[in-house]
Chain A
Amino acid sequence: MAKFLLLAFRNVFRNRRRTLMTLFMVGGGVAGLLLVGGFFARMFWGLREHTINSGLGHIQIFTADHFNRDEVRALDTGIDNWRQVAATVKTGGHVRGVAPRIEFYGMVSNGDKSSVFMGTAVDPVAENGLGFFPTTFTSGHDLDSKSGGEVEALVGAGLAKSMNVKVGDGLTVLSMTSDGALNGVDVEIVGIVDSGVAEMDARSLRITLPAAQRLLQSDRVTNLVVGLDKTENTDQVAAELAPRLRGLPQQLVLKKWIELATYYKQVRSLFSTIFVFLGIIVFFMVLMSSVNTLLMTMFERTREIGTMLAMGTPRAWIVALFMLEATLIGIFGAIVGVLAGNLLGVLLNHSNLHLPPPPGFTVPMSFQVLHVPSLMIGSSLLVIVSLALASILPAIRASRLQIAEALAHV
């Protein structure tokens, strides 16, 4: 059997030029998949971290009723004893911080003109404790939790533009209280926010938690946002937290970031589909061109196969030999491809290239690829299987040769 493997191995390197071309093609396919897949993986990673760190957090806690809520009266389904819940969560491992938030909606007006807003009320100190990306301001500064006088507000760049306001200007915020009455508060704009997502910035408004609670006439919060040390720990922490939240009077629900990151999931599924499609293309490209090459090889070796068959080699051995040779080419091609793909990846990561901003984003993206082991294994298996399949037809043809004719073949 070792000799048989040796025979296959040496046969692979018999026609060096042809083998090199096949290796080039197979390796190119694998390297291409690694680069594209590595870029996508890096993009998913970037989007994930961006999504989590620009506010989503790793885990959010809601009441169970929140998901059947009446959107206008936001706090009807809020968390009552949120300070206690937050304290409980904070004692868990890997938890960096817990921040209470209120999500509310309403109208904002500058006197001339009004617009719909999506509001978030935050505790600036707790928010900072989450360890997320600092908010980027086009002008102004963050909310100050201790300020006593005027109610401070941050507005998105788009909203500021449409309302025609700048830092220092005032706006009137209107929203519905828990008991259904309309309430309003005058706010002073202290900062204009550029989150990088244009659609968010067109509607976003942020005020402090106490201000919002006064506006909405409630002590509750909508949700608690939990920040962890690392995204990879999300599942573990969620599993540990769930039972600890069960003892509380209100029935709470724990949502991991992935359950809340709709855009991330859409992007991921779109690009995964593109990648699968690319994989299929590479698979068939390798399959088609190798069938041809392998048939040529088989044809050239007709007399040799005839000789082996004449000497009493079982036909199944000939099939096995040809398939083994092709599989070896696949393995070598995969090795070449993985090496080339990783090398190119390293070069790319060092070249500091930038791509135009992805859809919905305003900042350019750096062209980086990740080295993903599962991609290396997957694309290697893909080409190896492709070559093994490509060899079936030539292998069967070789094994079915008429010996006398094959021996007379020149």
Chain B
Amino acid sequence: MFSLSEGNDNWNPGPPSRFILPFPPLIRFSNPSSGNPCTFGMTTSIFRMSKDAPEKERPMEELVNVEAVSRRFPLDNIPTHHPAHSFVSALSNASLRVSAGEFLAIAGPSGSGKTTLLNLIGCIDQPTTGRILVDGVDTSKLKPNGMTTLRREKIGFVFQTFNLIPVFTAAENVEYPLLIQGIGSRERRERVAEALDSVGLSARAQQRPDLLSGGERQRVAVARAMVHRPALVLADEPTANLDTQNATQLIDLMHGLNRRLGLTFIFSTHDARLLEHAERIVRLCDGQVVSDNSTEGGSRG
């Protein structure tokens, strides 16, 4: 399939098609005539501002290494007269290294593969080709149980739709990752209090999620994602369901935790305004890394 993909690209120069078909694609998601969506935000001041960030000293220990990863999804609702094996390629040949302590934004338009990439790093999904190392562990070699353990111990998740357990209070939601790790109740209580305090929600600890505002819910989710002291927090569009003010506050909160605790954050967004808060921005388009401002200075000048 990979060679077909190249053939297809050769046949159809311009923005790479995300469809890998033995025939020219019938539908094209990125229409070349409407301008390249991948240029979005590339030359804004935000981008240049964040170029200053790499100056900051950060620990160089490598935490995530995405090596030439592709992820293709089989298309099942393809018309029958097409040959059987047809795929949509969500990510093609993407590479990325993340060091411990980074505060990294993944930017890109809708459908560019942000969620797919975060799912792969988060061991929720497995690459079609390539491999991903998380904290030195080659995730492609892990069995399902190993992936579960890795997620439970090393990764915290923040979701676009908050995804708190509705029948649990804020404190109980934050407690959950500790619960599934089998941590004793005393330590759980202390750590939950600490985590809720660090997101400024100690007062709301006993509230159920449906009584919290969107911003508060997402802060609870952040507390839940960091309470078990993971190596890495992944947040897929954590601000998409928040208004601008709450969104900015949330990114600030995460950035504060990153600086204070050295917690590594990788979050995705397609909101350009939030990118000014990120130290490093990796841009995706059509499943490929099109820019990365940490390597920008060296490779592109």
Contacts and interface: CB of A to CB of B under 8 A. Distances in A.
Interface string B159-177: 1010101111000100111
Contacts of B166: 14, 304
Contacts of A4: 179
Contacts of B124: 310, 403-404, 407
B148 interface: yes
Contacts of B125: 403-404
A311 B119 contact: no
B237 to A, nearest CB: 12
A299 B253 CA distance: 34
A186 B150 CA distance: 103
B232 to A, nearest CB: 13
Contacts of A313: 148, 152, 180
Contacts of A304: 163, 165-166
B167 A311 contact: no
Contacts of B175: 3
Q: Which of B157, B161, B163, B181 has the most CB of A within 10 A?
A: B163
A312 B165 contact: no
Interface in B121-150: 122, 124-125, 145, 148-150
B148 A308 contact: no
A314 B152 CA distance: 9
A303 B177 contact: no
A317 B168 contact: no
B177 A312 contact: yes
A310 B157 CA distance: 8
Interface string A1-45: 001100100110010000000000000000000000000000000
B153 interface: yes
B189 to A, nearest CB: 12
A311 B176 contact: yes
A110 interface: no
A404 B172 CA distance: 24
A307 interface: yes
B90 to A, nearest CB: 10
Nearest to B119: A404
Given A313-B180, A404-B125, A308 B165 contact: yes
Contacts of A314: 145, 148, 180
A360 B229 CA distance: 79
A311 B172 contact: no
B163 A312 contact: no
Contacts of B145: 314
Contact of A7 (B152, B157, B168, B177): B168
Interface string A44-69: 00000000000000000000000000
Contacts of B149: 312
Interface in A377-410: 403-404, 407-408
A404 B157 CA distance: 13
Contacts of B51: none
Contacts of A408: 115
B161 A303 contact: yes
B161 A3 contact: no
Contacts of A311: 151-152, 157, 176-177, 180, 224
A309 B151 CA distance: 9
Interface string B188-224: 0000000000000000000000000000000000001
Nearest to B164: A307
A99 to B, nearest CB: 70
Contacts of B163: 303-304, 306-307, 407
A7 B148 contact: no
B271 to A, nearest CB: 19
Contacts of A11: 167
Contacts of A315: 148
Contacts of B157: 307, 310-311
Contacts of B153: 312
Of B150, B167, B176, the most chain A CB neighbours within 10 A belong to B167
B168 A312 contact: no
Contacts of B165: 7, 304, 307-308
Contacts of A312: 148-153, 155, 177, 180-181
Interface string B235-275: 00000000000000000000000000000000000000000
B159 A407 contact: yes
B23 to A, nearest CB: 28
Interface string A288-332: 000000000000000110111111111101000000000000000
Contacts of B176: 308, 311
A7 to B, nearest CB: 7
Given A308-B165, A310-B124, A404-B124, A3 B180 contact: no
A303 B163 CA distance: 7
A112 to B, nearest CB: 88
A268 to B, nearest CB: 48
A310 B181 CA distance: 14
Contacts of A404: 115, 119, 124-125
A141 to B, nearest CB: 76
Nearest to B160: A407
Interface string B98-125: 0000000000000000010001001011
Given A303-B161, A407-B159, A14 B180 contact: no
Interface of B: 115, 119, 122, 124-125, 145, 148-153, 155, 157, 159, 161, 163, 165-168, 172, 175-177, 179-181, 224
Given A308-B165, A312-B180, A312-B181, 10 more contacts: A14-B166, A307-B157, A307-B159, A310-B124, A311-B177, A311-B224, A312-B149, A403-B124, A407-B124, A407-B163
15 contacts: A10-B167, A10-B168, A11-B167, A304-B166, A306-B163, A310-B124, A310-B157, A312-B150, A312-B151, A312-B152, A312-B177, A312-B181, A313-B152, A403-B125, A404-B119
Which 10 residue pairs across A and B have the least CB separation, nearest first?
A312-B152, A10-B167, A307-B163, A312-B151, A403-B124, A404-B125, A404-B119, A404-B124, A313-B180, A312-B148
